[in-house]
Amino acid sequence: MNWISDDMLPVIFLGLMGAAMLLYAILDGYDLGIGMLMIGQPEQHRDRMIAAIGPFWDANETWLVLGVGVLLVAFPAAHGLVLTTLYLPVSLMLAGLILRGVSFDFRAKVNARHKRLWDGLFWFGSLLTSLMQGYMLGQYIVGFDNSPYALLFSWVSALCVSFAYVLIGACWLIHKTSDDLQIKAVRWASFGLVVTAVGLLLVSLTNPLASTEIYNKWFSWPETLLLLPLPLGTVALLWLMRKHLQKMPYENDRLNWMPFVLCIAVFVLAFTGLAYSFYPYIVPLQLTVWQAASAPESLRVVLIGCAVVLPAIFCYTALSYWIFRGKSTALSYM
C-alpha cells in the first residue's frame, strides 16, 4: 500500500464509507420500507412480505456496520462530533433496529394470538429507524443547525426518506411477489414515488442554500452545465418509473424488476449530488476529510483489512441474492 500517497488515503476511505452507506440505503432501505408497509395487512400478506426480505435483511445491515466502522476508524474526529451532535436520534435508530431484530424472530415463535403484536412492533421499529435516518440526513444537510427552520427541514427530511424507503420496498415487492399483493405494491409505489419526488425537490432547493460555498459549486459556469445530467437524469428516471407503474403488472409478469432498478438509479443520482455538494468536507463546512482522518500509518493497516473483508461481503451478499432469486415462496418455519 506504499504506492498510495498519504493525501489519497482519506479520500479512499471517504469513498468506501460513502459506498457502504449508499448500499445500506438501497438494500436495507427496501426491507425497512416493507416493514412500514406491513401495518394493517392480513396475515397471509404479512407472511409473504416477511418471506420477501427474510433471506437478505441480516446481510443488508452489514453495510451500516461497515460504514459506521469506517467512520470510527478512519475519521475519529468526525465520528466523535457527529455522534455527539446526533446522540439522541442515533440512540433511537439503534433501538428501532434492535426492536426489528427481536420482532422478526419472535413472530416465528409465538402463538397466533401474539403474532400480530410482534408484527406491529416490527412495523414500529422499521418506522422509527427510517424516521431517525431521515432526520439525521436533514441535520447533516443543514450543517447540524438547530434553528427552527433547520429542525423543520430535518423532520420533513425524516418523512421523505421514510417514503423513499416505502417506494423502494414496494418496488422490491413488485419484483418478488404476485397476485393481490403485487397489485397492492404497485399502488404503494405510485404513492411513494410522489412523496419521494417532493422530497428530492426540497433537498435540491435547500442544499445550495445551506452555504455560499455549496451554492457556488452548483451555480458557477461551467459547473452548472456539467452537473445538469444529475437533475435531468433524476427527473427522467422518476417519469419512466411512473409510466411503468401505470402499466403494471405486465402480461406474464415481465419487467417486474424494472421499477426496483429505476429506484436504485434515483438513489445513486441523489447520493452523487449530495457527495458533490459536501466534498471535501466530511462534517459540512467544519471538518475536511484530511482534518478528520487518522494517521496515514493506521489507514494503511486498515486498508489492508478492507481489501480482505469487502470482497467477502460482496461475495456472500451476491450468493444470497442468487440462491433466493425469483418469487418468494410461502413462508414456513419448519
CATH number, residue 18:
1.20.1630
Task: For 122-175, write each residue's pLDDT tens digit.
Answer: 999 999 999 999 999 989 888 888 888 889 889 999 999 999 999 999 999 999
In a domain, 3, yes or no: no
Range of the structural domain that residue 245 is part of: 8-322
Phi/psi for 288 (5° steps) reads: -85, 170
In a domain, 173, yes or no: yes
In a domain, 146, yes or no: yes
In a domain, 203, yes or no: yes
Question: Running along the chain, 334 residues long, what does each successive block of 10 average in pLDDT?
Answer: 79 92 92 92 88 84 88 88 89 93 83 83 94 92 85 91 95 90 92 92 80 80 86 93 87 86 94 88 86 89 88 88 81 54
In a domain, 207, yes or no: yes
In a domain, 287, yes or no: yes
In a domain, 141, yes or no: yes
Is this model's pTM higher than 0.85 or not?
A: yes
Task: For 86-105, write each residue's pLDDT tens digit.
Answer: 999 999 999 999 999 898 88
Count of structural domains within the chain? 1
In a domain, 327, yes or no: no
